[in-house]
Amino acid sequence: DAGVTQSPTHLIKTRGQQVTLRCSPKSGHDTVSWYQQALGQGPQFIFQYYEEEERQRGNFPDRFSGHQFPNYSSELNVNALLLGDSALYLCASSLRTGTWDTEAFFGQGTRLTVV
């Protein structure tokens, strides 16, 4: 099992452009969460997808959007990129079992640099 895989590993974009980041969850997991980690900070929750719907959202603008596919993989899209969007973007997957979640496994992250 490759665990959680994210692509690409690094990305450089220009201000105003749009970017799509991808995540494949750990085998058997059905829930994907995205986090933004700025330099020197802890990960900040962006949103979570379960059953192909956004279930919970953190304090991020509508420029951040996502999608989950039937195979549970997910995409994070960011429109109108700002310099402040430069960060490490982490994907985490887990399995929802009724009233609780299993351990969240994290990917290696995608390092986005906006110039």
Partner 1 sequence: AQRVTQPEKLLSVFKGAPVELKCNYSYSGSPELFWYVQYSRQRLQLLLRHISRESIKGFTADLNKGETSFHLKKPFAQEEDSAMYYCALKRGQAGTALIFGKGTTLSVSS
List residues near partner 1 by CB under 8 A.
3-4, 31, 33, 35, 40-45, 48, 50, 55-56, 58, 90, 92, 96-101, 103-109
**Shortest distance, position 108 Cβ to partner 1, whole Å:** 5
Q: In whole angstroms, how far apart are CA 61 and each of 56, 58, 70, 78? A: 13, 9, 25, 10
Residue with Cβ nearer partner 1 (47 or 78):
47
- Kindly give, in sequence order, each residue whose CB lies less than 8 Å from that of residue 99, ignoring residues fewer than 6 positions away: none
Residue with Cβ nearer partner 1 (76 or 81):
76
**Shortest distance, position 16 Cβ to partner 1, whole Å:** 29
Read out DSSP for 10-35? EEEE-TT--EEEEEEPPTT--EEEEE
**Shortest distance, position 55 Cβ to partner 1, whole Å:** 5
